[in-house]
C-alpha cells in the first residue's frame, strides 16, 4: 500500500486517476516492506507509464547515485522528465520498458557501445574493485571449497595488479538486464550503482560474465570485435566480480547453486589458465 505522502507526490505529478502496481524489486522478493527501495509502475490516462521509487534512509547513497546519473546521463535516462522529492527520497521517472531478456550479439554490441558513451575517462587512477569477493567469503555458507578457494586465490592475484587505468562515469555492476531498447535507443533502467570513477574494461568484464553464466551464452567476440584491445586485468576483475555476485545470489537456493556451480568452477579454471599463459 502506498502511504499518504507517496500518493500525494504521485498525484501531484501525474493524473489523479493513476493506478499503481508494486514491481518485483529486491524488497518485495525478500518479503520486506522496505529494504533498499520500493518500486511501483504508475499508469495514468491515457496509458502513460511512469516508475515511482522510494528509497530507504539507510540507502540514501543510492538515491544520490540516481541524482548524479540524472545530471551525467540526462539524455540516456530522460532525466529532464524526472520529478524528485529530496526530503522524502522519492523519484518519479519515465517508464522505459523492461530490461533485456536473453542476449543476442546485436543487443550486446549496443549495450557495450552505450557503456563506452557513458564512460568517458576523466582521470587516470587505480581502480578499486568492489567488495563482492569479501562479501562472499563472509557469508560462510555451503559452497564447494574448490569454487571458493580458486575464486579467492584468483581474486587476490588480480588485486595485486596495481595498474593505472582511465576512470570515468559508469555502472559498477552493469548486468545485461539493467538495459533496455526503446525506439532504437539503449537506456539504463537500473542506476543503483552509478559512479564517477569506474573503468570501462571492468564494466565490460562484469557484463560478459553476466552473459556467460547467467544466460549460459558465450558472446566474447562481440567485445573483441567492437574494440581492439587485449583482455586487460580490469576486464578480468570485472568478470570475477560478477562470478562472486552470482554465487552470493545462488547461495539462497541450493538447487540453483548445484545447477550453476560446476559451470562457474570451469570458468574460474579457464581464466586461471589464461592468466598463467599471459604471465600477468
In the predicted structure, residue 274 carries a pLDDT above the cut 50: yes
Q: Kindly state whether residues 163 and 84 are assigned to the same domain.
A: no
Q: Kindly state whether residues 85 and 110 are assigned to the same domain.
A: no
Q: Which residue has the higher pLDDT, 244 or 151?
A: 244
**Structural domains counted in the chain:** 2
Give the structural domain span for 14.
4-94
**C-alpha cell of residue 49:** 507509464
**C-alpha cell of residue 46:** 491515457
Average pLDDT over residues 237-259: 76
Rounded to two decimals, what is the model's pTM? 0.83
Q: Kindly state whether residues 177 and 214 are assigned to the same domain.
A: yes
Query: Domain boundary at 94, 113, 135, which?
Result: 94
The length of the chain is 280
**pLDDT number for residue 243:** 84
Q: Kindly state whether residues 135 and 217 are assigned to the same domain.
A: yes
Flag whether 76 is in a domain: yes
d(C-alpha 182, C-alpha 110), whole Å: 12
**C-alpha cell of residue 100:** 533485456
Flag whether 220 is in a domain: yes
In the predicted structure, residue 228 carries a pLDDT above the cut 50: no
> Minimum mean pLDDT among 60-69, 99-108, 144-153: which range?
144-153
Task: Give one DSSP letter per residue of 136-184, joined into a string.
Answer: HHHH-----HHHHHHHHHHHHHHHT---EEEEEEEESS--GGGEEEETT
What's the burial of 1, exposed, middle or buried (CB within 10 Å: 0-12/13-18/19+)? Answer: exposed
3-state secondary structure of 279: coil
Q: Kindly state whether residues 215 and 162 are assigned to the same domain.
A: yes
CATH of residue 225: 3.90.1200.10
> Minimum mean pLDDT among 72-81, 210-219, 239-248: which range?
210-219
> Minimum mean pLDDT among 1-10, 159-168, 236-245, 255-264: which range?
255-264
Flag whether 100 is in a domain: no
Q: Kindly state whether residues 60 and 131 are assigned to the same domain.
A: no
Confidence band of 55 (pLDDT split at 50, 70, 90): very high
**C-alpha cell of residue 218:** 558465450
Judge whether 155 and 244 are in contact, CB under 8 Å: yes
Q: Which of 69-73, 76-80, 86-90 has the highest mean pLDDT?
A: 86-90
Q: Kindly state whether residues 167 and 220 are assigned to the same domain.
A: yes
Query: Domain boundary at 53, 75, 94, which?
Result: 94
Q: Kindly state whether residues 155 and 242 are assigned to the same domain.
A: yes
**pLDDT number for residue 43:** 93
Flag whether 213 is in a domain: yes
Q: State pLDDT tens for residues 180-212.
A: 998 888 898 888 889 889 999 999 999 988 888
Q: Kindly state whether residues 71 and 195 are assigned to the same domain.
A: no
d(C-alpha 80, C-alpha 74), whole Å: 6
3-state secondary structure of 124: strand
In the predicted structure, residue 253 carries a pLDDT above the cut 70: no
Flag whether 229 is in a domain: yes
d(C-alpha 257, C-alpha 142), whole Å: 10
Question: What rounded mean pLDDT belongs to the chain?
Answer: 80
Q: Kindly state whether residues 167 and 238 are assigned to the same domain.
A: yes
In the predicted structure, residue 64 carries a pLDDT above the cut 90: yes
* CA 147 to chain centroid: 23
d(C-alpha 203, C-alpha 207), whole Å: 6
User: To which residue does cell 574494461 refer?
Assistant: 201
> Minimum mean pLDDT among 37-41, 190-194, 214-218: which range?
214-218
Q: Kindly state whether residues 111 and 87 are assigned to the same domain.
A: no
* Residue 59 dihedral angles phi and psi, to the nearest 5°: -115, 40
Average pLDDT over residues 5-13: 91
Flag whether 273 is in a domain: yes
CA proximity to 206, closest of 72, 109, 112: 112
Flag whether 99 is in a domain: no
Q: Kindly state whether residues 241 and 123 are assigned to the same domain.
A: yes
Structure letter (DSSP) for residue 228: -
Percent of the chain with pLDDT over 70: 79
In the predicted structure, residue 145 carries a pLDDT above the cut 90: no
Average pLDDT over residues 202-226: 72
Average pLDDT over residues 263-275: 72
Non-local (6+) Cβ contacts of 71 within 8 A are 79
Query: Domain boundary at 73, 94, 115, which?
Result: 94
Amino acid at each position: 500500500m502506498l502511504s499518504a505522502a507517496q500518493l500525494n507526490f504521485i498525484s501531484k505529478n501525474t493524473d489523479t486517476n493513476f493506478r499503481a502496481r508494486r514491481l518485483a524489486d529486491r524488497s518485495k522478493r525478500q518479503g520486506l516492506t522496505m529494504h533498499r527501495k520500493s518500486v511501483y509502475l504508475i499508469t495514468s490516462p491515457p496509458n502513460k507509464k511512469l516508475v515511482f521509487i522510494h528509497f530507504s534512509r539507510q540507502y540514501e547513497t543510492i538515491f544520490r547515485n540516481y541524482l548524479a546519473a540524472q545530471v551525467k546521463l540526462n539524455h540516456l535516462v530522460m532525466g529532464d522528465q524526472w520529478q524528485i522529492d529530496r526530503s522524502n527520497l522519492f523519484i518519479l521517472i519515465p517508464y522505459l520498458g523492461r530490461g533485456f531478456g536473453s542476449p543476442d550479439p546485436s543487443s550486446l554490441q549496443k549495450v557495450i557501445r552505450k557503456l563506452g558513451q557513458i564512460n568517458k575517462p576523466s582521470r587516470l587512477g587505480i581502480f578499486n574493485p568492489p567488495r563482492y569477493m569479501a562479501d562472499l567469503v563472509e557469508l560462510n555458507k555451503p559452497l564447494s571449497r574448490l569454487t571458493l578457494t580458486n575464486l579467492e586465490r584468483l581474486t587476490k592475484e588480480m588485486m595485486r595488479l596495481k595498474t593505472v587505468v582511465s576512470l570515468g562515469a559508469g555502472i559498477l555492476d552493469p548486468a545485461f538486464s539493467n538495459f533496455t531498447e526503446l525506439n532504437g535507443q539503449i537506456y539504463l533502467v537500473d542506476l543503483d550503482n552509478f559512479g564517477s570513477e569506474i573503468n570501462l574494461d571492468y564494466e565490460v568484464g562484469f557484463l560478459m560474465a553476466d552473459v556467460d553464466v547467467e544466460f549460459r551464452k558465450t558472446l566474447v567476440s562481440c567485445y573483441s570485435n567492437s574494440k581492439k584491445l587485449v583482455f586487460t586485468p580490469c576486464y578480468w576483475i570485472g568478470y570475477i566480480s560478477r562470478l562472486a555476485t552470482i554465487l552470493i545470489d545462488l547461495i539462497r537456493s541450493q538447487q540453483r547453486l548445484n545447477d550453476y556451480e560446476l559451470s562457474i568452477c570451469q570458468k574460474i579454471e579457464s581464466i586461471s589458465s589464461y592468466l598463467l599463459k599471459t604471465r600477468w
